[in-house]
Structure 1
Amino acid sequence: MIFIENEGITDPRINLALEEYALRNFGKNEDYLLFYINEPSIIIGRNQNTLEEINDEYVRENDINVVRRASGGGAVYHDQGNLNFSFITNYKKENLNNFKKFTRPVIHVLQKMGVDAEMSGRNDLLVGDRKISGNAQFSTGKRMFSHGTLLFDTDLDEVTHALNVKMSKIESKGHKSVRSRVANISEFIDDNIDVYEFRSRLLHGLFEERETFDRYRLTDEEWEKVHELKDEKYGNWDWNYGNSPKFNIQRSRRFSAGEIDLRLDVEDGYIDNMKIYGDFFGVEPVEVVEERLQGIRYEPYVLEQVISDIDLEQYFGKIHEDDFLELIYGSDK
């Protein structure tokens, strides 16, 4: 097995691009191991509705990255107290969803550190009844990776804040994350070490039965390809937000001008259909507003620009732009 050096990069968009690049381009007869630590981020499962999984207002205010990964499963919070591992191997049918095989060596090293970890359910590692790791997989049909988190010294309060969903009345075809009781591995280790020392001990533990192990450093040309993939995919709004499954929103609110009842469909991150009902008084037909917002990207800054060009009073009576934006999108802007 060859260990891939990620050169200490903490940008989740680059790390996920590196993982996919290695999967698709590195030696087909070799197994690889990749470690990476990300700056504060929410990593969304491939089949999830991003907006349903995050506290969007909190994420924006705190500059938390939101990136969709290639594998399925639920949304997870990463910070620099969380170590991520990825085993990249040839695809074998018997290895798909076989999380026990890929986590077994990790569990072995953790237990040698005094952490009584065990596999639980389909893809989690627990100490007692507290979750310390979640795992997921992705396959191209020829190659696959099985990757997971290891909560070592993560800010668990941030997990709650960043993943606390505030959007109302969303009916989604995506899969909701399961909120689990979580714990940091550092709670179960007597030594006062940081995540980087933990990373070093885990790495050497995984390779303890080998006299030597190879380390691979990407060439400048390979890093260029990784950054291209980051720009085209993992740093792209359409991948991170627009790839969300279609979902429907219904919100109503009473203003001084009357009640506005809003119904809209969002598909691929864009408003696909909108209908507005209510007992408000307007001079102009509300269908004009519906048409103006049709096909608009469902993101507060984009919506704000469009709404600022509409004379809302002509359609609804006296209503402030910020209030109408909040009705469409939620509590933030």
Structure 2
Amino acid sequence: MAPSRGWHRILQVHSNVSPFVRRYSQFTYAASNSANKSQVYMSRSLDPYLNLSIEHFLLQKTPPESTVLFLYTNRPSIVLGRNQNPWFEVNLSLLRHGELKIDLVRRRSGGGTVFHDEGNVNYSVICPPPAFDRDKHAHMVVRALKKLGIERARVNERHDILVDQEVKGEDKTFKVSGSAYKLVRQRSLHHGTCLLSSPNLPIISQYLRSKAKPYIETRGVESVSSPITNTGVANEAFEESVISEFNEMYGSTEVILVGNQEEDVPEIGKGLKELKSLDWIYCQTPQFTFSFDSDHLKKGESPNDPNISSGVILAELHCSTRRDYKGCISEEPN
């Protein structure tokens, strides 16, 4: 989605340099400038690895006392939490051989597995630890949604954003956004993805339902499934409304566009390479055991069944030791 004329005007007011030819040094200067107590960035890249690398750069490099909003949209991708197991959370066989091309990504924050596509907008707020609150910026997003007509949006006790809708004369509750966090010594990060107009809503559960799950014992974090729905809000309208709410909280500031050119920033390029590596995606998995006992064999089930194994045909497999992880991936069934 291209920037609107409105965003173009915002950028031109605050800069003599066209946003589309701005060099990365200007982005890094703005991010690290201690005078910038409030910062807003929007990515026009759809690369999930790059967007998460930009987000991590902002977490590391922005001034400790500053508050930062980062908005981005990803192409179709499944994003695991830092301490999750891809074999446990994802139908890897479908991911590899399904019609839809989907990236598998492991982020640096905790939380559960989520599905991103171009019908979602991701929001990230980075702030000083004393100002951190798990609900504060979820409520910011709820206020933005309500101004766009989603009057029944609310935050629940799990810090998720829910929407109550009437279905066949009965009120139903749907999740439209979850939250994940990363806390470091001088900075706190809260991010989430808001469902707006995802065309893949009917098939998301197929990709997030691992057939190998009953045969795996893991120390990792398990996702919590919830009914989901789209809000019907346009991406750009959501971005503008969230930025408006952020500015009301922290003072008006310029919006800086970022994108593929940020790959040239050394720290971002390094982070991008790490997030794309098999070492990070698979071998950061906490220890787990894959087992197939005699009860399953009596039922006629086979550990070689691709719907069960999903490429994990090793008993007591510990990916955190890096033993045989390449074999597990390459042996994923056709």
Matching residue of 1:160: 205
Q: Partners in 2 of 1:201 and 1:271 — Cα distance? A: 45
Matching residue of 1:197: 237
Matching residue of 2:328: 299
1:86 aligns with 2:128: no
1:229 aligns with 2:264: no
1:140 aligns with 2:191: no
Shift of residue 224, structure 1, vs aligned partner: 3.8
Letter in 2 for 1:230: L
Q: Secondary structure at the match of 1:297?
A: helix
Letter in 1 for 2:242: L
Q: Partners in 2 of 1:49 and 1:140 — Cα distance? A: 23
Letter in 2 for 1:177: S
Shift of residue 210, structure 1, vs aligned partner: 7.5
Percent of pairs with identical residues: 27
- Tell whether the 8 Å contact from 1:40 to 1:65 is kept in structure 2 after alignment: yes
Q: Secondary structure at the match of 1:248?
A: strand
Shift of residue 299, structure 1, vs aligned partner: 3.0
Distance 1:30 1:260, change over 3 A: closer
TM-score, normalised with respect to structure 1: 0.73
- The CA RMSD measured in Å over matched residues stands at 2.6
Q: Partners in 2 of 1:260 and 1:40 — Cα distance? A: 30
- Tell whether the 8 Å contact from 1:271 to 1:298 is kept in structure 2 after alignment: no
2:161 to 115, 125, 135: 125
Letter in 1 for 2:188: M
Deviations 1:177-224 (A, max 9, x none): 1110111111xxxxxx63233323332343357874123456868634
Q: Partners in 2 of 1:42 and 1:82 — Cα distance? A: 12
Q: Which has the higher strand share?
A: 1
Structure 2 matches for 1:210-289, cutoff 5 A? 212-216=252-256, 223-231=265-273, 233-251=274-292, 264-268=315-319, 272=323
Matching residue of 1:46: 82
Matching residue of 1:100: 135
Structure 1 consecutive aligned stretches of length 4 or more whose deviation exceeds 6 Å: 259-262
1:169 to 215, 240, 243: 215
Matching residue of 1:111: 146
- Tell whether the 8 Å contact from 2:147 to 2:241 is kept in structure 1 after alignment: no
Letter in 1 for 2:65: N
- Tell whether the 8 Å contact from 2:162 to 2:174 is kept in structure 1 after alignment: yes
Shift of residue 225, structure 1, vs aligned partner: 2.6
Q: Secondary structure at the match of 2:282?
A: helix
Larger Rg: 1
Q: Provide structure 1 residue ranges, at least 5 long, that are not aligned to the other structure.
A: 187-192, 273-294, 304-328
Shift of residue 151, structure 1, vs aligned partner: 0.5
Q: Provide structure 2 residue ranges, at least 5 long, that are not aligned to the other structure.
A: 1-37, 165-172, 305-312
Letter in 2 for 1:182: I
Distance 1:104 1:118, change over 3 A: same
Letter in 2 for 1:299: C
Letter in 2 for 1:159: I
Aligned residue pairs, count: 268
